[in-house]
């Protein structure tokens, strides 16, 4: 299962795709059916009622159907989130050293594990890492290395955890 950010996660791309498909569908429907399509509303929108005909009616109807479909599909996807993890205890991580880390991310729902190579940074006196595109069903484990070949590792932590207890390896 591909966990990289998807093209259709961005709202502007969704609107552009819906609009493009609506224009194409409206043109095809207009060519097939001519100027007979109409969209009427009995409920006033912004205090007025409207009636559309021709290609604009096809565009509006397809646009609203596709918008509804994309919304329903998007709600089926579990939300992704970014979490900042503070590595503790901070006394183990000297400020003059440089660090790198490898993160194992396990998805309990799917049963897959993936890895990421990250560079920790300093924030509020702590060594921190930023994990992106995490799902609620995932847990993570961190292995940290410094420039003097020392290493630390954590147990698996849930994505709700904002800290990881690092133990010398």
- Higher pLDDT residue, 69 or 126? 126
Q: Which of 58-62, 113-117, 146-150 has the lowest mean pLDDT?
A: 58-62
Q: What is the pLDDT of residue 36?
A: 52
72 sits in the region (left: phi over 0; alpha: psi -120 to 50; else beta) called alpha
Model confidence pLDDT, tens digit, residues 15-34 = 788 788 777 877 777 777 66
Q: pTM for the complete prediction?
A: 0.55
- Least confidently predicted of 4-13, 27-36, 115-124, 154-163: 4-13
* Centroid of chain to Cα 65: 24
Q: How far from 109 is each of 3, 4, 44, CA to CA, in Å?
A: 13, 17, 45
Instruction: Tell me the Ramachandran region of residue 114: left when phi exceeds 0, alpha when psi lies from -120 to 50, beta otherwise.
Output: beta
pLDDT given at position 46: 47
pLDDT class for 42, splitting at 50, 70, 90?
Answer: low
What percentage of residues in the chain have a pLDDT greater than 70? 74
HEC profile of the chain: CCCCCCHHHCHHHHHHHHHHHHHHHHHHHHHHHCCCCEEECCCCECCECCEEECHHHHHHHHHHHHHHHHHHHHHHCCCCEEEEEEEECHHHCCCCCCEEEEEEEEECCCCEEEEEEECCEEECCEEEEEEEEECCCEEEEEEEEECCCCEEECCCEECCCCEEECEEC
> What are the tens digits of pLDDT across the range 91-128?
888 888 888 999 999 988 888 899 989 999 988 888 88
- Residue 44's pLDDT is 58
Label residue 51 by pLDDT band (50, 70, 90). Answer: low
């Amino acid at each position: 299962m591909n966990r990289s950010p998807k093209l259709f996660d961005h709202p502007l791309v969704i609107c552009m795709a819906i609009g493009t498909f609506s224009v194409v569908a409206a043109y095809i429907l207009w060519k097939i059916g001519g100027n007979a399509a109409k969209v009427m509303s009995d409920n006033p929108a912004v205090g007025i009622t409207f009636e559309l005909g021709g290609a604009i009616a096809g565009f509006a109807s397809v646009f609203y159907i596709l918008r509804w479909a994309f919304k329903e599909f998007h709600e089926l996807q579990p939300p992704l989130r970014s979490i900042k993890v503070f590595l503790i205890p901070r006394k183990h991580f000297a400020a003059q050293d440089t660090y790198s880390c490898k993160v194992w991310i396990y998805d309990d729902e799917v049963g897959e594990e993936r890895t990421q190579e990250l560079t920790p940074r300093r924030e509020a006196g702590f060594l921190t890492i930023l994990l992106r595109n995490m799902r609620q069903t995932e847990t993570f484990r961190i292995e940290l290395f410094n420039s003097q070949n020392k290493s630390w590792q954590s147990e698996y932590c849930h994505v709700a955890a904002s800290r990881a207890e690092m133990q010398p390896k």
